[in-house]
Amino acid sequence: MFRIFFATDVHGSDICWKKFIAAGDFYKANLIILGGDMTGKALVPLIGEKDGTCTVDFQDNRMVLKKPEEIPKLEKRISDRGYYPIRIERSLLEGFSPEKASEWSNETFGKLMIERVRSWLKYADQKLKSSGVGCYVCPGNDDVFNIDEIIRESESISSAESRVLEIGGAYEMVSTGWSTPTP
């Protein structure tokens, strides 16, 4: 029996992506498909204070990190949950004009989203290359256009966007990330 594992909306979560990649082996699936919305929705600033500590608001908690070694651990937790940790000094944050803030936000999101998708594809290539499990992903309506190109660079993952694909020798799959606005 040809078996398919379908998931969607991982939204930047490192853990969800790794589980998606592991799902083929776990469920003995021949093909794994990610239906869309790969990228996260929020940055979590790790704000450097004058006294050398770092303030972070995450999951309804305000944390003050006093030791530098605490920072990578928290950054991993943030990435696991699907957000993008970003280190920024308090003085820089407070000095933003509205125009500069908007520009910084767009640039940072763009850079971090692409970085994370690249790291995910690298991880998938290591895990899937000799596994015999096929993998399709299709960017969704919450994803930026830039990631289409990056997905095409992968050795083990194929983009399903705007294509008609034959699945398991018996079915055809059509996929698109375009959708009507969410109500």
Partner 1 sequence: MSEKKLFLRDATGLVRAWSLYDSFVYSALSINVVSLGWYAFSDGAFIPGGNLITATVVSAFFIFFEILTYALLIAVMPRAGGDYVWQSRVLSGAVGYVLSFTGYVFILWLWGPIYGDILSILVFSPIAAVLGNSSAALWWSSSNGVFASSILTIVIVAVIISFGMKRYARFQKWCFHIGMVGLVVTYVILAVSSQSSFQAAFNSWTGQVFGASGDSYTAMQTLATGGGLSGLAGLTDWNVSTSLGLIPFIAFFNLYPVWGATLYGEVRGSNDFKRNLKALTISLVFTTILAVLGFVLFANAFGWNFWNSSNYVYWGTVYAYNPSTPALPFPIFPSPGLFAGILTGNLFVELFLLVTLSFWYWGWSGTLFITSTRVMFAAAFDRIFPAKFADVNERLHSPINAIIAMAVPTAIFSYLYAYVSFNGTAFSTFTLDAVLVIAVMYLGTAVTAAVLPFRRKDLYEGSPIAGYKVGGVPLITIAGAVTAFFMAWLTYEWASNSVYGVNNPYSVVMMIVLYVIAIILYFSFKGYRRKQGFDMNKIYSTIPVE
Contacts with partner 1, residue ranges (CB under 8 A): 1, 3, 15, 18-19, 22-23, 26-27, 41-45, 59-61, 77, 80-81, 93, 96, 98, 101-102, 104-105, 109, 141-142, 181-182
Closer by beta carbon to partner 1, 76 or else 152: 76
Kindly report the CA angle at 118 between 122 and 148, in degrees rounded to 5? 120
Kindly report the CA angle at 98 between 97 and 104, in degrees rounded to 5? 85
CB 163 → partner 1: shortest distance, Å?
24
Contact 9, 21 (CB under 8 A): no
CB 156 → partner 1: shortest distance, Å?
17
Q: In the block, which residue shows the tokens 């991993």?
A: 76
CB 164 → partner 1: shortest distance, Å?
26
Closer by beta carbon to partner 1, 28 or else 152: 28
Per the structure block, which two tokens stand in for 176?
């698109």
Residue 139 to residue 13: CA distance in whole angstroms: 15
Closer by beta carbon to partner 1, 18 or else 118: 18
Closer by beta carbon to partner 1, 17 or else 136: 17
Q: Which of 124, 135, 107 is nearest to 33 (CA)?
A: 135
CB 18 → partner 1: shortest distance, Å?
5
DSSP class of residue 84 equals E
Closer by beta carbon to partner 1, 114 or else 165: 114
Per the structure block, which two tokens stand in for 118?
């690249």
CB 26 → partner 1: shortest distance, Å?
5
